[in-house]
A = this chain, B = another copy of it.
Amino acid sequence: MKRDVFQAIADPTRRAIIALIALQAMTPNAIAENFHTTRQAVSKHLRILTECELVTQEQKGREIYYTLEIDKMKEIDRWLEQYRKIWESRFEQLDVLLAELKEQDKQEKKK
């Protein structure tokens, strides 16, 4: 039942919805027009995105505008942070070293 952000962005349609409403808040109908699926399917995706607080709703008359909660996206960024440290350090030094070691290994195996 409890869904997390990573599960939310796993679906390509949901990522597309996120990309859409990142620019401006939109209604379910307006969003659905961009996809080859029913309005109800989009509504379901919006429900999931709302559940994990990636989007928020704002009622205006009979329309409901959905807005991306950009702060929640930072959660993914924070998770990535630990790996960014790794690839940054490897870029600086280890990458070259590893390539050399692999090359040496190849030479060894040839013998």
Contacts and interface: CB of A to CB of B under 8 A. Distances in A.
Interface of A: 4, 6-7, 9-10, 12, 15, 19, 22, 70-71, 73-74, 76-77, 79-80, 82-84, 86-87, 90
A19 B97 CA distance: 23
10 contacts: A9-B10, A10-B10, A19-B82, A22-B83, A73-B80, A73-B83, A73-B87, A76-B76, A77-B80, A80-B80
Given A6-B10, A10-B7, A15-B6, A80 B87 contact: no
A104 to B, nearest CB: 15
Contacts of A7: 10
Count of this chain's copies in the oligomeric assembly: 2
Contact of A70 (B12, B15, B79, B90): B90
A93 B77 CA distance: 20
Given A6-B12, A6-B15, A73-B80, 19 more contacts: A4-B12, A7-B10, A15-B79, A19-B82, A22-B82, A22-B86, A70-B83, A70-B86, A70-B87, A70-B90, A71-B87, A73-B83, A73-B87, A74-B87, A76-B76, A76-B80, A77-B80, A77-B84, A80-B80
